[in-house]
Amino acid sequence: MNDYLNLNMPQEKIGAISNLGLAHLGDGVFELMVRSWLCMHGKATAKGLHKAAVGYVAAPAQARMVKKILDDLTPEEQDVFRRGRNASPHSIPQNASREEYAAATALEALFGWLWLKGEKDRLNELFGRMMEEE
């Protein structure tokens, strides 16, 4: 049986996943982390949790927060981030510029990649830096 909460996928299998596939997974990872952070920090009532979460997972917010970690990425993480940024999405949400959406997609691809590698400590480290002063 696979343990989908504790993955450690081989690099060659991760490499076979498309940039947008990594971003799709990373979107879920990032949103779960945001929801956990909101609950743990008492940032919103039950009624406002969804609205609060959307405020952090929307492309403009992700693009703003990703700037806090860019200089700390390893060369391998920078490559994954670059691949995600250069992905060609079919559409861009109305509330985001092309640059914001590219940065958000890159962040999500990085989080998806780290998740598949089982790099929970690194995910927590990067996420913690991004959420400082929030």
pLDDT of 72: 95
pLDDT of 125: 97
pLDDT of 6: 86
pLDDT of 17: 95
- 42 and 132 in contact (C-beta within 8 Å)? no
Residues of the chain with pLDDT under 70: none
Q: Which of 27, 71, 72, 121 is catalytic?
A: 27
Q: Measuring CA to CA, which residue among 47, 53, 59 is closest to residue 35?
A: 53
What is the dihedral sign for C-alpha 114, 117, 119, 124? positive
pLDDT of 95: 82
Q: How far apart are CA 41 and CA 114, in angstroms?
A: 24
- 55 and 44 in contact (C-beta within 8 Å)? no
pLDDT of 63: 95
Token code pair at residue 68 = 């806090």
Domains and their CATH numbers in the chain: 18-131 (1.10.1520.10)
User: Is 3 part of the annotated catalytic residue set?
Assistant: no
